[in-house]
Structure 1
Amino acid sequence: MKLRQAAFAALSLAISHVQRTYASALTTAIPAGQKMCFYAEVDKEKEKIGFYFAVQSGGTFDIDFEVRDPRDVVILDGKQERQGDYIMTANHIGEYSFCFENDMSTITEKLVDFDIMVESEPRKETPGKPSQLSEHTSALEESIFKLNGMLSSIERSQKYFHTRENRGFSIVKSTHDRIFWYSFLECIGIVGMACAQVYVLQTFFNRTGRKYKV
């Protein structure tokens, strides 16, 4: 019974810690020449902020970005980046902004997949008497946090392959369209050359009013 109670207490502790973590995974289209910002609220200092993004389609799959703290100070930025995965420590309480700029493009919009996560850094203290729960809770808690880390790694890998798939599909579609229009223009050119040859031959044999039988 004591072992079950210890395991239940450790599991409740880990779940309560996971509930303190919140994230927002979104996909948005950023039109050409525009800037879009998203915000995350931090209510405690030294919290961890995770920021991931990847350009799924549009142009050369790059975009400008910047992250500002509640004092409107730039703490992270990049130019013409295809994707990024960052972990930051919030030194100030308030609203953090995450902005994407598509100023370098005048026609093409960019489709961006991004994830903003805010997570408390310290773990909660283990409830109950340390002599009764410390040994069991520590082992179970560490196992749960390791599983959480492995799941996060798998999720990142899935996002990476999803991005590669979208980029590959975009390249294949662009190549297919180019081949189609090249073949279409080539057919028009061949038909035009055939018509021009017929016209030249008719003009050659009908010039000066003389007709020849071929």
Structure 2
Amino acid sequence: MKLSTLFAGFVACLLSDATATALTYQLSAHERACFYAQTKKEGEKVAFYFAVQSGGAFDVDYAVQGPGHRVIMEGEKERQGDFVFTANQVGEYSFCFDNSMSTFADKFVDFEISVEGESKAQLPSKKGSSPEQTSILEESVFKISGQLSTISRNQSTSAPARTETSALFTARRSALSISA
């Protein structure tokens, strides 16, 4: 089942009109899963975003490695991250999530990986329109898309935090009423 889901996600990325596609991955207990991006020249910006949407304590370990397995960044028990770094080497970069600390809880992780300079899908141009008009429209569409993506991320990551805070508050109130 997981292999077919991963394959479907890969095909969706290839056929997508966007330069980056946010994906959701089910990370099983004790599992380490890696995803890859290729840089074609030095100095390209690479953006990496993730947020744990459900499972356990809503946390995951992560590691980003560059060519030659050089560690770019890593973290433990993180709920979310939003990073941009400069690729100092051409090659393959790995983005790994590790749930080995969990004994039973699967986690659903939303993530997005984007490399500066990736080819963007071209909008069809209307006959008689100038290239300047088309490029201005394209730029506006991509800006709006990015802003909507940011809004969506913020909404989806704040809901689990509100739920957890509410549950913690209720548990503390119950504990105080029992001890009183």
Report the TM-score, using the length of structure 2 for normalisation: 0.66
Quote how far apart the aligned CAs of 1:74 are.
Answer: 0.5
Q: Is 1:49 the counterpart of 2:52 in the alignment?
A: no
User: Which structure 1 residue ranges, 4+ long, deviate > 2 Å from structure 2?
Assistant: 140-151, 163-172
Match of 2:61 in 1: 64
Give the residue type in structure 2 aligned to 1:158. S
| Residues 17-51 of structure 1: CA deviation (Å, up to 9, x unaligned) | xxxx8223210111111111000111122111110
- Give the one of 158, 161, 164 matched to 2:158: 164
Give the C-alpha shift of residue 151 in structure 1: 3.8
Q: Deviations over 1:64-86 (max 9, x none)?
A: 00100012100011111100111
Shift of 1:56: 0.2
Partners in 2 of 1:22 and 1:147 — Cα distance?
A: 13
Q: CA separation in 2, counterparts of 1:167 and 1:59?
A: 13
Say if 2:86 is the partner of 1:92.
Answer: no
Larger radius of gyration: 1
In structure 2, distance between residues paired with 1:95 and 1:24: 18
Asked if the contact 1:56/1:167 (under 8 Å) is kept, the reply is no
Root mean square deviation, CA, Å: 3.1
Alpha-carbon distance in 1 for matches of 2:77, 2:156: 20
SS of the residue corresponding to residue 23 of structure 1 reads coil
Cα separation, 2, equivalents of 1:26 and 1:152: 15
The amino acid across from 1:157 in the alignment is I
How far did 1:158 drift?
A: 1.1
Q: If the length of structure 1 is used for normalisation, what is the TM-score?
A: 0.56
Unaligned runs of at least 5 residues, structure 2: 1-17, 119-131, 169-180
Residue of 105, 109, 113 corresponding to 1:108: 105
1:169 positional shift: 6.3
SS class of match (1:22): coil
Listed one character per residue, the Cα deviations across residues 90-134 of structure 1 (whole Å, up to 9, x for unaligned) are: 11111100000112211111110000001129xxxxxxxxxxxxx
**Ranges in structure 1 where 5+ consecutive residues have no aligned partner:** 1-20, 122-136, 176-214
Higher relative helix content: 1
Counterparts of 1:158 and 1:25, CA distance in 2? 11
Contact 1:45 1:93 in 2 (8 A): yes
